[in-house]
Structure 1
Amino acid sequence: MEEKKTQCESEVEIPSVPVIQFYPQLYKQRYRFVEDLVYRYEPKKVADLGCGDASLLRQLKKLSCIELLVGVDIKDEHNLEMDGYYLRPYITQRLFPRELELTIILYQGSVVERDSRLLGFDMITCIELALRVAETYSYSVEFTGVGEPPAGAESVGFCTQIGIFRKNGAKAAESCASEQREQHVYKPVVTISFPSLQQEKYFKTTVVSEVCKQVKIMRMEYLRGLKEQEEGREPSNESDPRLLAPMLWEGQLYTEAEKARIEASAKPFSVKDKFYVPLQRLPAYVRLHHLGVSEERIRSVLADSGTLSSDGSAVAIDLHDPPEPDDYSDDYPDGDDYPDGDDYPDGDDYPDGDDYPDGDVDYPDGGDDYPDGGDDYPDGGDDYPDGDDYPDCDYHPGDEPGDEPGDEPGAILIS
């Protein structure tokens, strides 16, 4: 029997199957396909049916055109709440808020059930979820896909096939809406609101930050011009590279039209030790111009900041930054680096009359370098108090006799 089995196994040849690898991975290609559609059509309301772990939603929340992002999945509430954790705003999104509002909602529910809260959405995606839409609802269909087949297998088609359904006219949408009114089947589990410039506190913070940045850049340019005049040099028309850095970071190198708009506005000036930027000039700068703030709006935002001139027509700051505060005549209050007359507070390098605080050689143990009376550490027989070279039996096990077995090498537990 064994001989027949061995013979049979030797006669069977398992054909090698080539492994097809996709780069980027197919799921990333599918998400990128959806992103491209969002870039092309700029929908404001997007829903993902069968959202899974919300990976697609995490990608779509970065797109500035979307104002409402909804995910629907049948999974339990706890898992949906965990998915919602990764959809929250980043800290940087509070410092640099979106221009438009964004609300993200995760619903618990089945895609085979209707919920009227999904009416009126501009785009609905079903990634990795089979869905059929009948022609009854007046959709046009475009078939495409991602994951191109290898050479010689083109007839197989895309690895991931995609159908794009578009509504034909407004009447179809109206008829669909009339069939489904106030049917709230899904259970809302997570609702997240993102900071945006539509909210007054974030708008004011952004305006103040942008005004301060532009005023400081103008002051640096102004001081550079004064220095060139003092040195008898011709004024330079080239921007200081230090000033270009923030603009390069934000993509704010000016076009000729933007430069002309700025040059046509009132110029900054100085009086004694104060530097003034007329409010009339500030809306000419790209970011503030894009925000649509007027001179009056800037004045109202800066009213409580203490940076306005006495007549409220300009931002006023010191022409030169004040020197860094120094509480002492040198680095420390004692005439040298420490308050004792030398480098340490004891009259020499340590408070004991020699280099260390123990009154004998270098340490307080009365005869050697540590207080154990016989070696370098306080354990009375070796270098640490545990019977080996380390103090707790938990560090570097196995290095010296006396360690307890079973400790993880190099592991440190902090509690």
Structure 2
Amino acid sequence: NFQCNSVVDGNVEEVPSKKVIKFNPPLYKQRYQFVKNLVEQHQPKKVADLGCGDVCLLAILKYQKCIEKLVGVDINEGRLKWNGSRLSPCVGDHLDPRELDLAITLYHGSVLEKDCRLLGFDLAACIELIEHFDSEDLAKFPEVVFGYMCPAMIVISTPNSEFNSLFPCAVFRDSDHKFEWSRMQFQTWALDVASRYNYSVEFTGVGEPPTGAEDVGYCTQIGVFRRKAEAAELAVLEHHGEHVYEVVSVLCILRAITSGFENFSSIPNLFFFFLLLQVYTTSYPSLQQINYRRRVVIYLVYREVSRLKQKYQVSLRQHELEPEFIAPGNQTGKFTSDLPVPVLTEDDKAMEIAPQPFCIEDKFYVPLQRIIAYPRLGHLCGNVEKLREFLGDVIELNCDGSAVKVDLNDCSDF
């Protein structure tokens, strides 16, 4: 059985009875890449990984700029606590903050529980999950994920049992698998679920079969479910107003709402709000947070003013060392060239008309109107007034606050 696991994960050992199949990249990476490609294509803001395990998929998706909320749910609390640190911001995230806010939360609990914090997601990933359910749990799964959570898109992957004949052993790929479906079995189940909950579904997979065995299909079969428009409207109406409790204490809320019920299973669905225990949460620095935005603006202004000052100093030295050359017929002394004039972009044109830096005695000035003309600074600040506010008392301005002021010959300015 261990040999089968190794084959699927791409870390294989030699088995003499059959030729070992190696996947490159390893199959688990292909599955994660499939989800990543979906995210890049559809740009979801809120993504949930149901059965997130060692959080590898979440660690990949946290770099997607479109995502603002990432949630992982798993029944194994120990794995969540052990791997949660992989999702924490690193030094680079503070030095170069992302554009949008990002919050990552891990919940310990069953994906078969109805928890209102999993409502309203754009994408839910169920990667190698359903084959771990017994028949009773498998029957609950569509009602919870498709009927209650009803995300805009759901991607489900599961082993293709037809591929197993190519492996050194013919048993299930994992000892915890309760079943492994053929393509026909999976597609029959998926089409029935899609029909019941008003989704469409498309089938694909990862893990190409070897030459000559194409008839077995992909090693991992995948269904991509998309919620239909009318289902989206019904979901909004059905779940509107269910977010009524603050997340103060999961245990206290459960204790309060279960008092008076002898049988926990008899609690009305209305009370299934916070059945998942939050074990980890973190927020990433972003340019939506004013302190990080200000820090980035100040850094960019420092960099641009330093670059302009250095360029001006170089031009002064060249002017002192080189005699002015005036070409015949060019009385202005300006350099002329027969080279074609480059086509200017909109950003180039904005810089052309922006006020130029200037020097008065030993002071070098860069107008704020020129600084704001740089595309990224213009995006971050919007207008000169906001730029002036960001600079505050950190960077010296001239008397009327219209330009950055630095000593021309002082290298310690920046």
Q: TM-score, normalised by structure 2?
A: 0.67
C-alpha separation in 1, matches of 2:239 and 2:377 = 46
Once the two structures are superposed, the pairs formed by residues 378-389 of structure 1 within 5 Å of their partners are none
1:174 equivalent to 2:234? Answer yes
State the percentage of identical aligned residues. Answer: 49
Match of 1:147 in 2: 207
Match of 2:165 in 1: none
**Aligned equivalent of 1:261, options 322, 330, 350:** 350
C-alpha separation in 1, matches of 2:208 and 2:304 = 49
Give secondary structure in 1 for the equivalent of 2:25.
Answer: coil
Match of 1:10 in 2: none
**How big is each residue's C-alpha offset from its partner over 1:112-160, in whole Å with a ceiling of 9 and x where there is no partner?**
2221211110000011112654421111001011111111111111111
Match of 2:65 in 1: 64
The answer on whether the counterparts of 2:94 and 2:285 sit within 8 Å (CA) in structure 1 is: yes
Larger Cα-atom Rg: 1
C-alpha separation in 1, matches of 2:211 and 2:43 = 35
Report how far residue 323 of structure 1 moved. Answer: 7.7
C-alpha separation in 1, matches of 2:350 and 2:312 = 19
Match of 2:105 in 1: 105
The answer on whether the counterparts of 1:119 and 1:177 sit within 8 Å (CA) in structure 2 is: no
Which is worse superposed, 181-190 or 268-277? 181-190
Give secondary structure in 2 for the equivalent of 1:232.
Answer: coil
Give secondary structure in 1 for the equivalent of 2:315.
Answer: helix
The answer on whether the counterparts of 1:137 and 1:172 sit within 8 Å (CA) in structure 2 is: no
Report how far residue 233 of structure 1 moved. Answer: 5.7
C-alpha separation in 2, matches of 1:323 and 1:35 = 45
Match of 1:83 in 2: 83
**Residues 308/170 of structure 1: CA separation in 2 closer, same or farther (3 Å cut):** farther
C-alpha separation in 1, matches of 2:108 and 2:30 = 27
Report how far residue 29 of structure 1 moved. Answer: 0.9
**Residues 285/145 of structure 1: CA separation in 2 closer, same or farther (3 Å cut):** same
Match of 2:160 in 1: none
The answer on whether the counterparts of 2:395 and 2:404 sit within 8 Å (CA) in structure 1 is: no
**Residues 62/108 of structure 1: CA separation in 2 closer, same or farther (3 Å cut):** same
**Residues 322/171 of structure 1: CA separation in 2 closer, same or farther (3 Å cut):** closer
**How big is each residue's C-alpha offset from its partner over 1:205-239, in whole Å with a ceiling of 9 and x where there is no partner?**
011001111111111221222222222367899xx
Match of 1:17 in 2: 18
Q: Give RMSD over aligned pairs.
A: 2.5
**Residues 266/17 of structure 1: CA separation in 2 closer, same or farther (3 Å cut):** same
Report how far residue 16 of structure 1 moved. Answer: 4.0
The answer on whether the counterparts of 1:138 and 1:172 sit within 8 Å (CA) in structure 2 is: no
Structure 1 unaligned blocks of 5 or more? 1-13, 238-253, 325-415
The answer on whether the counterparts of 2:206 and 2:220 sit within 8 Å (CA) in structure 1 is: yes
Which is worse superposed, 143-152 or 183-192? 183-192
**Aligned equivalent of 1:200, options 290, 296, 311:** 290
Once the two structures are superposed, the pairs formed by residues 11-410 of structure 1 within 5 Å of their partners are 16-76=17-77, 78-130=78-130, 133-175=193-235, 178=238, 181-182=242-243, 183-230=273-320, 231-232=322-323, 256-322=345-411
Report the residue type matching 1:296 in the other structure. Answer: E
The answer on whether the counterparts of 2:357 and 2:364 sit within 8 Å (CA) in structure 1 is: yes
Q: Which has the higher helix share?
A: 2
The answer on whether the counterparts of 1:137 and 1:176 sit within 8 Å (CA) in structure 2 is: no
Report how far residue 309 of structure 1 moved. Answer: 1.2
Give secondary structure in 2 for the equivalent of 1:18.
Answer: coil
C-alpha separation in 1, matches of 2:197 and 2:316 = 71
Give secondary structure in 2 for the equivalent of 1:71.
Answer: strand
Which is worse superposed, 313-322 or 84-93? 313-322
C-alpha separation in 2, matches of 1:48 and 1:62 = 15
Give secondary structure in 2 for the equivalent of 1:281.
Answer: helix
**Residues 236/145 of structure 1: CA separation in 2 closer, same or farther (3 Å cut):** farther
Considering Cα pairs closer than 8 Å and 6+ residues apart, tell me whether 1 or 2 has the greater RCO: 2
